[in-house]
Chains A and B, each alone.
Chain A
Amino acid sequence: MSRYIARRLLIMIPLLFGITLLSFAVIHLAPGSPTDLQTDLNPKASAEAKERLRALYDLDKPFHVQYFLWLKKILVLDLGTSFSPDRRPVSGKILERLPVTISINLLSMILIFAAAIPIGVLSAVHQNSLFDKITGVFVFIGFAMPTFWLALLLMILFGIHLGWLPISGIRSINHEYLPLVDSWIDLAKHLVLPVLLSAFGGLAGLSRYMRSNMLEVIRQDYITTARAKGLSETTVICRHALRNALLPVITILGLSVPGLIGGSVIFETIFAIPGMGQLFYMSAMARDYPVIMGILLIGAVLTLLGNLLADISYALADPRIRVSR
C-alpha cells in the first residue's frame, strides 16, 4: 500500500509543475498588461511611473525569468501581494475565504451522496418502474438546467414570495446579537439555497451513474448465486450488490471536485457569499493578477488533492488496484 501511495505521489510532481506553468502562461500570454488597469485609470501616471510599476512586479523581465522568479516564491508559499488598494498578501486573502468555500462544497458533496446513492439504487432495482421514470426525467432536466437560473427561481419563490429564506450573504446583519442557537439557525437558513443548488448538477450525474453501475452489478453471476442460495432480496441488494456498485463512485468523488470549486464562482456571486469564488470574480473584474494566479493555482491543487484522495481510498477499498498498478 505504501508503495502504491509513493508511486501515486510521484506522478503528482510533473502535474504540479505543469499546473504552475499553465497558470503562469494563461495570465502572461493573454493580451493586455496586468498593470494596464491601474495606470490607464490614473491620468497622472507617466511613462516612467508605468515602467517602475512593471519593474516592481518583474514584468519587464523575459517570460522564463519571470516564471522562475514566481516559482521560487510559491515554493515558499509566497503568492505575492494583491493589486487592490489594501495591498495585502494574496495567501492571507485566499486563506480567510477558503473555509467558507470548502465547507459549502463539503456540505453539498455530502448531500449529493446521501441522495444520489439511494435514488440510483432504487431506480436500478425497480428498473422501468414509475419511480425510475420520474427520476429519469429529473436527471435529464438536471443535466440541462442552468443552475444560476434555478437559483433565481428559488430566490423568487423562497426568498420573495414565501419569505422563508434569506437570499444574500451567510449571516444576518444582527447575527452578533443573537443567542447562540439562533445564530446557528440563522447560518443554516443562509446556507440552504447555496448548498442545495451547488449539489443539484452533481446529484443528477451521480444518480444516473449509480443506476447504471447497479444495473450492471445485479446481472453478475455472483448475484444470481446469492439469490439461488436463498438469501432475502434485501440482503442480496444491500450486502452483495451495493458494495460492488459503490466502488467506482469513489472515483466520481475525486472527479467532481473541479466542478464544485468552479461552480462556487457562480453561487458565491449570486448569493453574495464571501468565499474564494466571489474573491476570484472580483479579482478578475479588477485584473488583480496576483490574486487571480493564486486562486487558479489553489483551485488546481485542490483538484489534484481530490483525485489523490479518491485514488488512495479506491486502493484501500479494492486490493486489485494496488496490486495490479
Chain B
Amino acid sequence: MGKGTGQGLWTDFRRRFAGNRLALAGSVVVLLLFLVSFLAPVIAPHDPGAIDLGKVLSPPSGDHLLGTDQLGRDVLSRMIWGSRISLKVGFVATGIAIVIGTLLGALSGYYGGFIDGLIMRLVDVMLCFPTFFLILAVIAFLEPSIWNIMAIIGLTGWMGITRLVRADFITLREREFVQAARVIGAGDLRIILVHMLPNAMASVLVAATLGIAGAILTESALSFLGIGVQPPTPSWGNMLTAGKDNIDIAWWLSVFPGLAILVTVLGFNLLGEGIRDSLDPRLRGRD
C-alpha cells in the first residue's frame, strides 16, 4: 500500500477517496441524511403526528409537498422524522453485529484449534438459516418494538464480520510485530486489543458501512410487514404499508418513502465500496 508515494496510509486513502466520484456522492447522501434527521424538528413543515381528517389522502400540493396519508398526516414530515428511525436501526444493529462478530472472529483467529472449530461451526449453522426466517421466528415471541428489531437484526448479522476478522487475525498472528510483542511478554488480551485489532479494523469498517445499508433494508421490510417499528411512530417501512393498503387511490404513499429507502441504502453502499477501494485499490471491482 502507498506504493511510491511514501506518505502513509491515511494520506493515500484521502487522495484516492477524493478522486472517487461515486464514493463522494455516497458521502454526500449520508451526510445529508444525518443533517435531515438532526434537524427534523426544525425542517419538518408539519407535526408528523398531526391528524387532519379533513385532508385524508390528499395528493401532493403546495401545503403538503408529498401529499397526506390515510389520517391526513403530512407525508414529507413523517419521512423526515422516519430518517431518525432508519439511522438509529442501521447504526445500533450494525454496532451489535460488529461487537459480536469482532469478538468471535478475534478469538477464533487468535487461538485457533478447538475454539476456532467451535466458532466456525456456529457460523456455518447460522448461515444455514435464511436470515429472514430466523428474524421472524424470534419476533413472533417478542413485542415488536424498535429495540427488539435492532437487537434481532444485529444478532443475526454478525457471521460475515466474524469470518473477515478471523481471516485477518490468522495472517496477523504470524507477523513479526505480533511475535515481538509476545516475546517481550505481552499477554493475550493486550496482543489482541492493542496490537492486532487496530490492524483488522479496515475490513470491519467496510463491512460495517455495507451492514448499515443491509440493516436499514431489513428494518424497512419488517416494518412493512407490520412486525417492525409500530405506528404511530413513522418509519419508511410502515409508511409503505399504508401505501399498499391504498395502492389504487394514493400512489404518493407508495412512491416517496420507498425512494427514501433506495437513496439511503445506495448512499451507504457507495460509501462502503468507496472506503474499500480507497483502502486497497487492488480490491477494486471484486466482491
Contact = CB atoms under 8 A, between A and B. Distances in A.
B184 interface: no
A259 interface: yes
A258 B225 CA distance: 19
B258 interface: yes
A144 B243 contact: no
Nearest to B124: A15
B101 to A, nearest CB: 17
Nearest to B127: A258
B266 A27 contact: no
Interface of B is mostly: helix
Contacts of B221: 146, 148, 266
A299 B240 contact: no
A304 interface: yes
Given A18-B125, A146-B221, A284 B265 contact: no
Interface stretch (A29-37, A177-185, A217-225): A29-37
A263 interface: yes
A220 B221 CA distance: 43
B142 A15 contact: no
A116 to B, nearest CB: 13
Contacts of A303: 127-130
A256 to B, nearest CB: 11
11 contacts: A15-B128, A143-B266, A144-B265, A150-B258, A152-B243, A152-B247, A152-B254, A215-B285, A258-B128, A266-B225, A303-B129
Interface in A138-154: 140-141, 143-146, 148-150, 152-153
A303 B243 CA distance: 33
Interface string B199-217: 0000000000000010001
A12 to B, nearest CB: 10
Given A15-B124, A22-B126, 4 more contacts: A144-B213, A144-B265, A145-B262, A153-B254
In this complex, the member of B126, B136, B141 whose beta carbon has the largest number of chain A beta carbons within 10 angstroms is B141
Contacts of A200: none
Contacts of B133: 261-262, 265, 280, 295-296, 299-300
B140 A304 contact: no
A57 interface: no
A292 interface: yes
Interface string A268-284: 01100000000011011
Interface string A286-303: 010100110110011001
B244 interface: yes
Contacts of A262: 130-133
A29 to B, nearest CB: 9
A32 to B, nearest CB: 5
Q: Taking chain A's interface residues, is the majority helix, strand, or loop, or is none over half, making it mixed?
A: helix
A259 B220 CA distance: 17
A156 interface: yes
A263 B217 CA distance: 12
Contact of B125 (A19, A30, A148, A295): A19
Contacts of B162: none
A140 B267 CA distance: 10
A280 B137 CA distance: 9
Nearest to A147: B221
A160 B248 contact: yes
Nearest to A11: B124
Interface string A1-28: 0000000000000110011011100110
Interface string B212-241: 010001001100110100000000000010
B286 interface: yes
Contact of A18 (B121, B255, B262): B121
A212 interface: yes
Contacts of A145: 262, 265
A171 B210 CA distance: 39
A54 B258 CA distance: 44
A209 interface: yes
B138 interface: yes
A269 B225 contact: yes
Given A140-B270, A144-B213, A281-B136, A152 B128 contact: no
